[in-house]
Structure 1
Amino acid sequence: MKSKILLPVMFLLAVLISPSLMAQDEYYRPDSLRKEQPERKEVPPIERNPQDQKPVLAEKKKLEDFKDKKFIERLRLGGSFGLSLGTVTNINVSPMAGYELTEKLVGGVGATIMYFRYKYYDINTAYYGGRAFLMYNVIPVVNIIGEFEAMNVVGSYQKRQWLGSPMAGASYSQPIGGKFIKAVHLTALYNFSYDSQIDKYSGQNLSPYGSPFVFRVTFL
């Protein structure tokens, strides 16, 4: 009777003890004989903000759209005019043509026709010439402008001569969305050669603007 009870008890103990023996055997087994466990590598999370990609993608698409523009779509046609009344009367009209070299840079040329009257010296004549310019858009409503103007003027003894005027300045621009006239520009320029444009006989400045500062309203 005792043997019948002892046998199941020993079998139960063997079942309970065997897992712990196997674990100890694995612990004391040499490293070369242990079961290879896959090594878990910790990969640091990569944080990506989708909003960081939007400006880059938008800028790239904008550049591609500009490159796809046809010649006629980059062309700008318009002109400028200026008016000064008083001792010096100056009426200035200049048709202009520009071309979008890049998304922000416009280069162009213009022809100038000017009526000029100087009351004290009884000068009453017309001037003519042309100019070349570059206009760079800094922000949507502000452009910086560099220009060179060549003007045929009248000096002493009604002798005509050419004046070259390098100018630079800026404009406040209001977009109007026209096909060729994209904006209206209120422009202020400074003539760097004004002080040297002196008539050698009369000692008077020959610049038809009457000042180193040149103000225009330009449609382009």
Structure 2
Amino acid sequence: MKRLLICFFFLTGVQLAQAQYYKTDTATRKGFDPSRLVLGGSLGMVFGDYTNVDISPLVGYRFSDYIAAGVNINAQYGQNKWWEYDRVTQRDKYTIFGGGIWGRVYPLPMVFIHIQPEYNFITQNTTYYPQNAEKQTYKTNYGVPSLLVGAGYTQSVGGRVGIGISILYDVIQDRRSPYNNNLVYRVGAGLGF
């Protein structure tokens, strides 16, 4: 943990030293500026007894050096197998599709505070495999709100292209939330961060 904090403060210091690179002259520009568009998102994949494929693009606009906002889309497929010794006893399959809006405040040039209200539509199929009976499948459809709040860090990799990491938490904590009671870790790449 101590090493992680030292690395974080070192990278923050390097970014503060280079901060003038990211400043733009907003006083001379009026109206829509295409160089302030933010395009990006994240892609995640986990395979095994727990499988999840997540595609989450986002688009937005950097209104100033300190504020950005936009819209996001969530698309996920997942599957979870429950084992008892050497056989599967239950399998859950789900799809999630939704979206929302997001906003960021940059107190430091590369450090941001993130807020993201969203609404997801979830379809879930649960199949039970009793030992001496036929399998039983149940299908449910529902919608669930989430409010992700957290912070992150972006690092330029050249020009306006950057890589970002963030840690978020769903503060609403609906019992059917796809985020459960866990921290949400996101790593992504984008343009205009």
TM-score by length of 1: 0.59
State the 1:99 CA deviation.
Answer: 0.4
Aligned to 1:103, what secondary structure does the other structure show?
coil
Identity of aligned residues (%): 27
Aligned to 1:122, what secondary structure does the other structure show?
strand
CA distance in structure 1 between the partners assigned to 2:28 and 2:65 by the alignment: 7
Return 5+ residue gaps in structure 1 as ranges. Answer: 1-57, 199-205
Greater share of helix? 1
CA contact (8 A) 2:104 2:114 kept: yes
Q: Are 2:126 and 1:164 equivalent residues in the alignment?
A: no
The number of equivalent residue pairs is: 150
- The structure with the larger Rg is 1
Greater share of strand? 2
Cα displacement string for residues 20-58 of structure 1 (whole angstroms, at most 9, x for unaligned residues) = xxxxxxxxxxxxxxxxxxxxxxxxxxxxxxxxxxxxxx9
Q: Are 2:125 and 1:151 equivalent residues in the alignment?
A: no
State the 1:95 CA deviation.
Answer: 1.4
Q: Are 2:158 and 1:189 equivalent residues in the alignment?
A: no
Per the alignment, residue 96 of structure 1 pairs with 58
State the 1:69 CA deviation.
Answer: 7.2
Per the alignment, residue 68 of structure 2 pairs with 106
State the 1:63 CA deviation.
Answer: 4.7
Per the alignment, residue 53 of structure 1 pairs with none
Per the alignment, residue 74 of structure 1 pairs with 36
Q: CA RMSD in A?
A: 2.7
Cα displacement string for residues 166-195 of structure 1 (whole angstroms, at most 9, x for unaligned residues) = 11101121023445xx4211111011122x
Query: Per the alignment, do residues 157 and 66 of structure 1 end up closer, same or farther by CA in structure 2, a change over 3 Å counting?
Result: farther
CA contact (8 A) 2:39 2:60 kept: yes
Query: Per the alignment, do residues 69 and 139 of structure 1 end up closer, same or farther by CA in structure 2, a change over 3 Å counting?
Result: farther
CA contact (8 A) 2:26 2:64 kept: no
Aligned to 1:73, what secondary structure does the other structure show?
helix
State the 1:94 CA deviation.
Answer: 1.1
CA distance in structure 2 between the partners assigned to 1:66 and 1:79 by the alignment: 30
State the 1:162 CA deviation.
Answer: 0.8
